[in-house]
A and B are shown apart, each in its own frame.
Chain A
């Protein structure tokens, strides 16, 4: 089948402002992914097209883009979703500066990520086995399950860049950073609870979330982002992690 794809393009070395370019591709299969089409354009028609991608299987988080108005991973969107005569519109994710074509500057996103101290802190010396060698800290199956959902995050930025609060104010840490914080707040091995909650109680922390719910459907990993945010809000109010 034939697919028509419109791409928001911009090359800072040539273009004053972004523009739409349209490509028509013949012999497409319903199981082709949007990433396959972008590759065909780049490899067969115009090598200057810039995009990020690596795994092509929804696990590395490189290729979040706005596809027909929704944030998706290009490698996870099959053509057949768009019917017999697919018409697809692709543009960079919003709220981050465009570097070239579909590539945006991810630094502000990762700065927010780093700001929430996304690492386990536990200063108690770990247990030692009968042989004198270190052993694992014990954790119950239930305690492990408590933060399972938020460990799935691949830092693709689809949630954060779908959030109107983030578009309006780039200082807002955004859903992805809160998801990361949640992963440690609800891990009973972590000892930085108070500091984590204080960090997110900041004016640019969780309270900028207005529960618009854009983030949850945007997440390619099926993480219940809004729920994670509300659990963090609750933890801030009560001062503890509830189970």
Chain B
């Protein structure tokens, strides 16, 4: 094993990892390790925007942003974290502008802001313009800008190095082990502080907006090293995923006037009151389950054609002359391109087929507001270990994330992680590397590389994804969840004993690493199904058919799940931080 030493190691080069790197590298030696070239990270896929109460377009206050975040999270949000998010968002967005981010501008030249579901003026209850944007590629611009700044500041990168384990010495982290994709060599990175920023795990599901690489590696690695995972039952389904790929159609498409229509030609959303993602996803899921999909299939229509939109706008007494084919073409350029490229459908003339799509992990590695990883329900900190971004659970998103708040999370808590990790590195000394470090993961990788059982990993992956889709989706119930849990446990056993691999080489062996990633997904799928079965209430993105009500009496608490022995799971709880906002029923 080749050894490297840095004060701080950052695993992941998406928005959260790069932000942490920028801040940590100001005072200590830092290396960023990423399995993808940084600019390939999935932060680049974010479309809608990043919210901050700048008040550039109309009156707004960070307190309103904080409250919307808590309410959106169905009161499972830790309110100290929500306050920090909303307050620090303002300076963070301004800082991105200073770094060069090409935000769209108002007539006065300020950062332009637009409306986004769930963001409101708390006095009038009306939507407020809070989402800052750079066309419909805000995430792309954040990722590019942060990477540019890292180059400017000479940050050290290990690109296409795949981290496969964390090294602990007793209770303290000592480093990570990574595989260099190019030649298959194993590297040990010895560090005083380690930040995980490895993103989400949408690939547990069949229909998802997530990239192939979103396999939850960091969360799985932490979990395998004795760290619990928090609130894993909460996974957001975005209502408008393109059928059949699951690619995200921006919320803006409905904002511009697009209407959802079922197989009977009904504009069914009127029967529900959808402003927040989980409610809209549920409405579509009900239509599909009750057989009102288009031609009986598993999709409904999102109709953006001028004919339809104008008709409904006219019915509502609105003038819609402006809504022309050219208007759609400019306002929803990305959506038009997606429809044409991936569904072979021109949204200007035909409705788009859509279905809910697995989108965002609210749960993850538990941290406090300083991005320090915590080990138990007493909030005991693991010194030197940090997590930020989608892989972490601060918990700022509670039971459901408000649109545009993930990008804020990356910047605000990514920065906090970088600052804290650097501060800790300056005061701490290196924890010695245990003599057997990396041995276990080395033998696991060898097992995979030489596996000659009978099941191709892809068969297991498909089975896991369809199981999660059918039984751990928008709606859940005890019977299905138990079935899912049993199936996933069977798949894990199959994975451990009977897989088959072709590539025995060391150069760019993505088959071995993809298979290792599948192991992470299976582990997280198991914890998700287990947590969902355990929580006998409905809250935010977790909708139980057999327990339809939110139950604050028993369930106003965070779930923590630990590995217990080789195969068992153990559950514990952590109180929600409640400050000024007492739980209320969510009405939209």
With both beta carbons as reference points, the residue of chain B lying nearest to A109 in the complex is identified as B37
Flag if B458 contacts A43 (CB, 8 Å).
yes
**CB < 8 Å neighbour of B341 from A58, A136, A154:** A58
Q: How many residues of A contact B (CB 8 A)?
A: 62
**CB < 8 Å neighbour of B144 from A51, A147, A151:** A151
Flag if A43 contacts B456 (CB, 8 Å).
yes
With both beta carbons as reference points, the residue of chain B lying nearest to A126 in the complex is identified as B98
Flag if A120 contacts B99 (CB, 8 Å).
yes
B264 in the interface, Cβ–Cβ < 8 Å?
Answer: no
B381 in the interface, Cβ–Cβ < 8 Å?
Answer: no
Q: Which of A59-67, A207-215, A226-234 participates in binding chain B?
A: A59-67
A13 in the interface, Cβ–Cβ < 8 Å?
Answer: yes
Flag if A99 contacts B36 (CB, 8 Å).
no
Give per-residue flags for B78-116: 1 if the beta carbon is below 8 A from chain A beta carbons, else 0. Answer: 000000000000110011011110111111111100000
Given contacts A12-B507, A126-B98, A136-B103, contact A151 B141 (CB under 8 A): yes
**CB < 8 Å neighbour of B36 from A54, A80, A190:** A54
Flag if B105 contacts A144 (CB, 8 Å).
yes
Give per-residue flags for A131-142: 1 if the beta carbon is below 8 A from chain B beta carbons, else 0. Answer: 001111111110
Listed residue (A13, A55, A101, A144) with the most chain B CB atoms within 10 angstroms of its CB:
A55
Flag if B104 contacts A144 (CB, 8 Å).
yes
Q: Which of B64-72, B147-155, B393-401, B412-420 participates in binding chain A?
A: B147-155
B172 in the interface, Cβ–Cβ < 8 Å?
Answer: no
Flag if A139 contacts B105 (CB, 8 Å).
yes
CB distance from B437 to the nearest CB of A (A): 28
Flag if A147 contacts B102 (CB, 8 Å).
yes
A25 in the interface, Cβ–Cβ < 8 Å?
Answer: no
Contacts of A137 in B (CB 8 A): 97-98
A217 in the interface, Cβ–Cβ < 8 Å?
Answer: no
**CB < 8 Å neighbour of B344 from A44, A50, A78, A154:** A78
**CB < 8 Å neighbour of A55 from B45, B457, B502:** B45
Flag if A13 contacts B45 (CB, 8 Å).
no
Contacts of B458 in A (CB 8 A): 43-44
Given contacts A47-B502, A78-B344, contact A60 B211 (CB under 8 A): yes
Flag if B508 contacts A120 (CB, 8 Å).
no
With both beta carbons as reference points, the residue of chain A lying nearest to B56 in the complex is identified as A136
Contacts of A122 in B (CB 8 A): 98, 100
Flag if B102 contacts A151 (CB, 8 Å).
yes
B39 in the interface, Cβ–Cβ < 8 Å?
Answer: yes
Give per-residue flags for B134-158: 1 if the beta carbon is below 8 A from chain A beta carbons, else 0. Answer: 1101001100110011011000000
A126–B96 Cα gap in the complex (Å)?
12
With both beta carbons as reference points, the residue of chain B lying nearest to A33 in the complex is identified as B342
**CB < 8 Å neighbour of B342 from A14, A31, A138:** A31
A88 in the interface, Cβ–Cβ < 8 Å?
Answer: no
A118 in the interface, Cβ–Cβ < 8 Å?
Answer: yes
Contacts of A154 in B (CB 8 A): 39, 44, 140
A62–B44 Cα gap in the complex (Å)?
12
A189–B44 Cα gap in the complex (Å)?
23
CB distance from A142 to the nearest CB of B (A): 9
A84 in the interface, Cβ–Cβ < 8 Å?
Answer: no
A196 in the interface, Cβ–Cβ < 8 Å?
Answer: no
A14–B503 Cα gap in the complex (Å)?
12
Contacts of A53 in B (CB 8 A): 212
A106 in the interface, Cβ–Cβ < 8 Å?
Answer: yes
**CB < 8 Å neighbour of A138 from B37, B109, B338, B510:** B109
A48–B584 Cα gap in the complex (Å)?
55
Contacts of B182 in A (CB 8 A): 99
CB distance from A93 to the nearest CB of B (A): 15
Flag if B105 contacts A141 (CB, 8 Å).
yes
Chain B residues 515-538 with CB under 8 Å of chain A are none
Contacts of A31 in B (CB 8 A): 342-344
A129–B98 Cα gap in the complex (Å)?
14
Flag if B42 contacts A54 (CB, 8 Å).
yes
Contacts of B140 in A (CB 8 A): 59, 152, 154
With both beta carbons as reference points, the residue of chain A lying nearest to B334 in the complex is identified as A59
Listed residue (B41, B137, B145, B211) with the most chain A CB atoms within 10 angstroms of its CB:
B211
A133–B98 Cα gap in the complex (Å)?
13
A100 in the interface, Cβ–Cβ < 8 Å?
Answer: yes
B247 in the interface, Cβ–Cβ < 8 Å?
Answer: yes
Flag if B212 contacts A47 (CB, 8 Å).
no
Listed residue (B36, B97, B100, B149) with the most chain A CB atoms within 10 angstroms of its CB:
B100
B501 in the interface, Cβ–Cβ < 8 Å?
Answer: yes
A61–B144 Cα gap in the complex (Å)?
12
A202 in the interface, Cβ–Cβ < 8 Å?
Answer: no
Flag if A60 contacts B105 (CB, 8 Å).
no
**CB < 8 Å neighbour of B44 from A60, A101, A133:** A60
Give per-residue flags for A155-173: 1 if the beta carbon is below 8 A from chain B beta carbons, else 0. Answer: 1000000000000000000
A148 in the interface, Cβ–Cβ < 8 Å?
Answer: yes
B583 in the interface, Cβ–Cβ < 8 Å?
Answer: no
CB distance from B475 to the nearest CB of A (A): 27
Contacts of B39 in A (CB 8 A): 60-61, 154-155
Chain B residues 338-364 with CB under 8 Å of chain A are 338, 341-344
Contacts of B503 in A (CB 8 A): 47-48
CB distance from B502 to the nearest CB of A (A): 3
Given contacts A78-B344, A120-B148, contact A103 B137 (CB under 8 A): no
A204 in the interface, Cβ–Cβ < 8 Å?
Answer: no
With both beta carbons as reference points, the residue of chain B lying nearest to A222 in the complex is identified as B337
Contacts of A120 in B (CB 8 A): 99-100, 145, 148
A147–B510 Cα gap in the complex (Å)?
37
Flag if B149 contacts A119 (CB, 8 Å).
yes
Chain B residues 192-214 with CB under 8 Å of chain A are 211-213
A133–B501 Cα gap in the complex (Å)?
57
B40 in the interface, Cβ–Cβ < 8 Å?
Answer: yes
Give per-residue flags for A90-108: 1 if the beta carbon is below 8 A from chain B beta carbons, else 0. Answer: 0000000001110100100
A135–B94 Cα gap in the complex (Å)?
6
CB distance from A74 to the nearest CB of B (A): 12
Flag if B110 contacts A11 (CB, 8 Å).
no
A119–B154 Cα gap in the complex (Å)?
12
CB distance from A131 to the nearest CB of B (A): 10
A55–B210 Cα gap in the complex (Å)?
7
**CB < 8 Å neighbour of A187 from B90, B100, B457, B502:** B100
A229–B182 Cα gap in the complex (Å)?
33
Contacts of A152 in B (CB 8 A): 137, 140
| Known A59-B44, A134-B94, A151-B134; further 8 A-B contacts with Cβ < 8 A | A50-B510, A53-B212, A57-B211, A78-B344, A99-B182, A126-B98, A139-B105, A144-B104
Top-7 shortest CB links A-B: A120-B100, A47-B502, A138-B109, A43-B458, A119-B148, A47-B511, A119-B152
Give me 8 A-to-B residue pairs in the complex whose CB atoms sit less than 8 angstroms apart, sorted by A's number: A33-B342, A100-B508, A122-B98, A133-B90, A134-B98, A137-B98, A141-B106, A152-B140
